[in-house]
Structure 1
Amino acid sequence: MSSRTADRLTRAGTGLAVALTAHTAWNTTRLRRPPAEPPPVRERVSVLVPARDEEAALPALLDCLAEQVGCDDLEVLVCDDGSTDATARLVREASARDPRVRLITGRERPPGWLGKPYACHQLARAATGSVLLFVDADVVLAPHAVAATVALLRGSGLDLVSPYPRQVAVTAAERLVQPLLQWSWLTTLPLVAAERSPRPSLAAANGQLLAVDAGAYARAGGHAAVAGEVLEDIALLRAVKRSGGRGVPCDGSQVASCRMYTSWPEVRDGYAKSLWAAFGSPAGAAAAMAVLGLAYVWPAAAALRGSAVGAVGLGAGVLGRYLTAEATGARSLPDALAHPVSVLLAASLTVTSFVGRYRGTLRWKGREVA
């Protein structure tokens, strides 16, 4: 490659990085957040927890749900999705202490269903609330989390809100990869347009904490409409949009936290199970990774060779990560400085995901993913 071509790529990548970071900065000013002091909830809320082999995490969530304030009419349904550990026993014990808690014993999956969508489907069918609040078993909730999430849903006039929990990252692998969750949609998704637009393509959501109006959920077809989707949370929001509803991701760092994975093998396997579905096709994934590489890796490499333009691009990428972290309660420094490495690692995980997909080796919690 000629030096002229390399310089052109550096300038293009730097311009793209600056533009994307400017978009990130704008999005952080438009980001919806649950209120710190929500009003009392005047309707019935169904908290729905799909759980498979969650004996380590579930007690903390059940304790959090027992301590919720501002929501007097609350039911907590936990679907034991074929667990081989003490998950069901823990729910029964919680139910003995708190009659609002009820165990749903998961049935065998019908053909065409993946595990989590079917667990959520069973939970929703048993729910009696006008608000359905889906919560993953490894999420930790603040005492006002349920009331604040319902206030966000009703106060915004939306049909679905997804307050992203603060992503707890401890090990190096977690700190490199986990911040990309919020960074990805704060950087690429125009939040105002996504909130108003019926286009399913303008959608991001996180099933760790997701609230949906029960009527809108039913009109969208519920989880039956996303039965075979690995990324069922995003697919559910797209179904809501197709049925005339609206929804958007929000900052949930003040109401919830979640440590998804605790080691590199968990990070690798956790993302491998789903990244193949995030881009629509291998060509879409290749295009997305090429754009991210141009914006965040190429300028960084040029900066290391002494390019002032590349240094601007590197700085823009780091600033975008820093702004995201500050807006979502994550660790900002020094982690943001490693953003080019994070992008490279994301590309590697995407390749791993597609390879596993086509070899048929992707598994999660003892089940084939696809």
Structure 2
Amino acid sequence: MVAVDRSGLTRTTEALVTAGALGAVVATAHTALNLRLLRRPSDTPPVVAERVSVLVPARDEAARIAPCIASILASEGVRDLEVLVLDDGSTDGTADVVTAAAASDPRLELLDGGSDDPPAGWLGKTWACHRLAARATGSVLLFVDADVVLAPHAVAATVALLRGGRLDLVSPYPRQLADGPLPRLVQPLLQWSWATLLPLRVAETSPRVSLSAANGQLLAIDARAYARCGGHGSIRGEVLDDVALLRAVKRTGGRGVVVDGTDVATCRMYDDGAALVEGYTKSLWSAFGSPAGSAGVVSLLTLLYVVPPAAAVLGPSRRARAAGALGYAAGVTGRVIVARRTGGRPVDALAHPASVAVLCALVGESWRRKRAGTLRWRGRGLT
């Protein structure tokens, strides 16, 4: 019979929980600092005199695109606005919705993307964005997803931040609307992740491509910088095209950053849990570079945000339970301050350990589907 050194196991558990709890405390302190430094578009931007091209790729968005287009056309403070929508092989009447809007506003033009699949090596969205940019005539290209609704000052404020900040790319992160158990668990992690893990002001000036965060839901780029980095042609096969585009800009000497877009745009990415699973699994495999990178991130998140709360309840000693409670409180605090800044629900932060656990499970499922060759999005396979 093998004797079990329970005191040794207890000390090991205490050390592990304490490390996780202290890591969560440091991460939340970094979150608070980041949010103090986070850029925010002005509520009263100056009038934009240059030509701005707003580019909307759309595939089967008939149920959601009308509010998006209406909000773009209602933009204030932009003297010369061009709005191009590319219908990417929709079968649900998306083109009809856009055509009806274009009939009353000459600034809006619908482009027929055809029904064929993208050329070899291209993904559907990158191909659509490439074709939109090729037709655009503005000095600023503003990419907007069809499920985004802009505030009246959003376009002018985004361009003002791009120019005033001497940036080549700026991505105001919209307020994320989420209803239902799974969206409420997972969606708040979007803003929390970069607010917690990315040193924003360092990322803004650093040429390191690893220090990059962006959101293609609302993304502005200088037209010359876009051409210089090769545009979407240089990232044609990238699932996370927004982050990839920022990295391409950095590789060619440009600067860009994610900013707080809470007051300029809203987005409801997913209507239910099933849609969320499909959306996340299509891209999470590529978020951390490799299986090893994904495993490392999952392990770190688990150590910081799952192990401490578990120990707070099940820890083998008072010290382990106390450290676990501290770690849980730190994780919840980080989520609460992000929610208050970005228009989320602070009460959802109480489920932060479950949120992180679900995200880690989605990372694993994404890799499983990638290896099985079953990844799909918008009816198209992803290789």
Shift of the alpha carbon at 1:304?
A: 1.3
Pairing partner for 2:66 from 21, 40, 59: 59
Shift of the alpha carbon at 1:369?
A: 1.7
1:274 match: secondary structure:
helix
Shift of the alpha carbon at 1:91?
A: 1.6
| Paired letter, 1:232 | D
Shift of the alpha carbon at 1:65?
A: 1.3
Which residue does 2:5 correspond to in 1? none
Shift of the alpha carbon at 1:172?
A: 1.1
| Paired letter, 2:30 | H
Q: TM-score, normalised by structure 2?
A: 0.95
| Paired letter, 2:134 | R
Which residue does 1:113 correspond to in 2? 122
| Paired letter, 1:319 | T
Does residue 212 of structure 2 align to residue 212 of structure 1? no
CA–CA distance in 1 between the matches of 2:93 and 2:379? 16
Equivalences for residues 53-92 of structure 1 within 5 A: 53-92=60-99
Deviations 1:4-52 (A, max 9, x none): 1110001100111011111101000010110001110010000000000
CA–CA distance in 2 between the matches of 1:19 and 1:65? 40
Equivalences for residues 233-244 of structure 1 within 5 A: 233-244=242-253
Pairing partner for 1:276 from 285, 292, 296: 285
Does residue 17 of structure 2 align to residue 7 of structure 1? no
| Paired letter, 1:369 | L
Equivalences for residues 126-275 of structure 1 within 5 A: 126-275=135-284
Q: TM-score, normalised by structure 1?
A: 0.98
CA–CA distance in 2 between the matches of 1:269 and 1:350? 12
CA–CA distance in 2 between the matches of 1:192 and 1:138? 29
Give the gaps of 5 or more residues in structure 1: none
Does residue 378 of structure 2 align to residue 365 of structure 1? yes
Which residue does 1:31 correspond to in 2? 38
1:77 match: secondary structure:
strand
Which residue does 2:354 correspond to in 1? 341
Shift of the alpha carbon at 1:110?
A: 1.1
Which residue does 1:315 correspond to in 2? 329
4+ residue stretches of structure 1 with deviation over 6 A?
none
* Most deviating of 49-58 and 105-114: 105-114
Greater C-alpha Rg = 2
Deviations 1:183-236 (A, max 9, x none): 111100000110010111110000000000000111010000100000000000
Give the gaps of 5 or more residues in structure 2: 1-7
Matched length: 369
| Paired letter, 2:335 | R
1:245 match: secondary structure:
coil
Deviations 1:232-291 (A, max 9, x none): 000000000000000000010100000000111011111000000001111110110000
CA RMSD of aligned residues (A): 0.9
